[in-house]
Amino acid sequence: MPEFPLRRLRRLRRTEPLRAMMRENRVELDELIAPMFVAPGRGVKREVSSMPGVFNLSVDRAVDEARALAELGVRAAILFGIPETKDEEGSGAWADDGIIQQAARAIKQAVPDLVLIADCCLCEYTSHGHCGPVAGGEIANDPALALLQRTAISQAAAGCDVIAPSGMMDGMVHAIRSALDAENFQQVPILSYAVKYASAFYGPFREAAASAPSFGDRRSHQLDPANYREALLEAETDVAEGADALMVKPGMPCLDLVRALRDRFDLPLAVYQVSGEYAMIHAAARNGWLELERCALESLMGFKRAGADMIISYFTRFFAEQQQRQS
């Protein structure tokens, strides 16, 4: 290999046109997925205090947001529901008139080409805030599977294009795949939260989705952040059970797992830039410590460089608006 002064790596960085031409990775709008939090009521647009620019939206306002996203060129959104009432089983998750079911029908009627991903979990709907029924102080895994099956079927029937189980119950992908197939939803894919850590970065989300557990935590079923090999095993298990795509959550602390899954599996790979990551960047920018636009883009680029095909990010609309201004 030539040595300095023959080898001058700065030659290809000298101007922006040169840098753009030589750029190895690009974040494309088609790859971004916008989270949406749907709440009861009408005309509701309530900002989440810990997440600037993120709102709880009633169904009518969610339709408005879906239209706006589509006009900006965003292709997909993931829906989280905030039910009017909760119970121990989380029955609002699979109700025909549940908040996600209402939103999916309304959005699909208004913006039929927007890909709707349904977060398939019970924690937002249970009175105790856990991801399944509680027995003896613990989450009962197998009874939770039956409830997740009902939820997935209801979400698919309402028009959701993709089911994304996030509860980290053992066997959830197989259970949901079997249920969808039995109800003639063979065409509906499963995007599994295959690698989901019990992360401290989820705090602002629990405000947005009103899903904080009333006791204990979720470390009995979500991955220990110290474990790498176990995360690979979780992904292998979900692939064997029929997952169509995989997800890593959270994003920035888990770039090693994004790369590992990209190298090991051929399935499409998503990463979730979670609420805490988003809130940290905004907080630092508000204090003048970081430049919001550059840091937001750099964080997204990190996921792409690590191997992600899709990025769920609260910066999706921000990124789309920046792209529109530059075009």
Q: For the segment 121-162, what is each residue's pLDDT rounded down to a tens digit? A: 998 888 776 677 778 878 889 999 999 999 999 999 999 999
Whole-angstrom distance, CA of residue 155 vs CA of residue 149: 10
Whole-angstrom distance, CA of residue 224 vs CA of residue 150: 28
* Residue 105, pLDDT above cutoff 90: yes
In 3D space, the residue among 236, 237, 277, 238 whose CA is nearest the CA of residue 254 turns out to be: 277
Cα-Cα-Cα-Cα torsion 68, 71, 74, 76, nearest 10 degrees, comes to 70
pLDDT at 227: 97
pTM of the model: 0.95
Domain count, the chain: 1
Domain that holds residue 190: 27-326
**Residue 132 domain-assigned (yes or no):** yes
Whole-angstrom distance, CA of residue 265 vs CA of residue 126: 34
**Residue 276 domain-assigned (yes or no):** yes
The whole-chain average pLDDT of the chain stands at: 93
- Domain holding 240: CATH number? 3.20.20.70
Total Cβ atoms within 10 A of residue 91: 18
pLDDT for 191-240, tens place per residue?
999 999 999 998 887 776 666 665 556 667 789 999 999 999 999 999 99
Q: What is the DSSP string of 197-264?
A: B--GGGHHHHHHHT---SSS-STTTSBPTT-SHHHHHHHHHHHHHT-SEEEEESSGGGHHHHHHHHHH
**Locus of tokens 């947005």:** 208
Whole-angstrom distance, CA of residue 319 vs CA of residue 34: 10
Active site residues: 196, 249
**Residue 4 domain-assigned (yes or no):** no
pLDDT at 209: 63
Whole-angstrom distance, CA of residue 121 vs CA of residue 167: 5
**Residue 309 domain-assigned (yes or no):** yes
Cα-Cα-Cα-Cα torsion 306, 171, 276, 301, nearest 10 degrees, comes to 20
Query: Both tokens of residue 260?
Result: 């590992």
Q: Are 308 and 269 in contact (CB under 8 A)?
A: yes
**Residue 302 domain-assigned (yes or no):** yes
**Residue 10 domain-assigned (yes or no):** no
**Locus of tokens 């295959």:** 194
b/e per residue, 259-273, with b = 16+ CB within 10 A? bbbbeebebebbbbb
Q: What is the DSSP string of 130-175?
A: -SS-EETTEE-HHHHHHHHHHHHHHHHHTT-SEEEE-S--TTHHHH
**Residue 117 domain-assigned (yes or no):** yes
**Residue 17 domain-assigned (yes or no):** no
pLDDT at 212: 61
pLDDT at 131: 75
pLDDT for 272-305, tens place per residue?
999 999 999 999 999 999 999 999 999 999 999 9
